[in-house]
């Protein structure tokens, strides 16, 4: 997880040094345009290097955008990892959107994290960043409240108590995984 790859050498390093086979881009087009990234060139080089591209654009600094998009993005991330891909997650600076996706994945899919605080600490202890925990918590509640087979998962239209969505029982974790893996 980190910053946006902006040139061929960035992608070459990801592929050759880190073994990356799939890049998850959580930026909007306007983010790349602002930083003058030639995204078409980046995509061509990814194809040349046999690196898959997944796009899940979130609005930067928007808790609602992150909350709404996390279930689909985490489901796709899980599918890529289960297929054996080595994944690089990025937004512009690697400080909000991509860490938010990483933490949601860790919380929902990895057995070592039963609490959102645990997943958050697990990531932020190795990469200081500030993803919006309330987005992950809200998305967790949205998934748990959704009907089996419902897609896309719609955000709840109510206020959430602070404690909701912060600790998952094994049954709740399994429910989330089953809903996102269907």
Q: How confident is the model at residue 182 (pLDDT cuts 50, 70, 90)?
A: confident
C-alpha Rg value of the chain to the nearest Å:
16
- 0.75 surpassed by pTM: yes
- pLDDT score of 151 more than 70: no
Helix 170-181 / helix 63-82 crossing angle, nearest 10 deg:
80
Q: Is 22 a catalytic residue?
A: no
| pLDDT for residue 128 | 92
- pLDDT score of 159 more than 60: no
* Residue that has been written with the tokens 């990469």 in this structure: 127
**Which pair of structure tokens corresponds to residue 157?**
């239209």
Q: What is the pLDDT of residues 71-114, one digit of tens each?
A: 999 999 999 999 999 999 999 999 999 999 999 999 999 999 98
């Amino acid at each position: 997880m980190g910053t946006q790859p902006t040139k061929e050498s960035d992608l070459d390093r990801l592929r050759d040094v880190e073994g990356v086979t799939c890049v998850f881009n959580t930026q909007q087009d306007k983010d790349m345009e602002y930083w003058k990234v030639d995204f078409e060139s980046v995509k061509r080089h990814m194809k040349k290097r046999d690196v898959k591209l997944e796009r899940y654009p979130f609005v930067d600094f928007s808790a609602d955008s992150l909350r709404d998009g996390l279930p689909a993005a985490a489901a796709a991330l899980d599918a890529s990892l289960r297929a054996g891909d080595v994944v690089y997650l990025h937004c512009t600076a690697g400080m909000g959107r991509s860490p938010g996706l990483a933490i949601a994945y860790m919380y929902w899919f990895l057995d070592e994290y039963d609490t959102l605080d645990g997943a958050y600490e697990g990531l932020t202890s190795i990469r200081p960043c500030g993803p919006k925990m309330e987005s992950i918590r809200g998305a967790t509640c949205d998934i748990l409240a959704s009907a089996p087979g419902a897609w896309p998962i719609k955000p709840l239209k109510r206020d959430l108590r602070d404690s909701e969505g912060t600790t998952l029982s094994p049954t709740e974790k399994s429910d989330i995984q089953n809903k996102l893996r269907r």
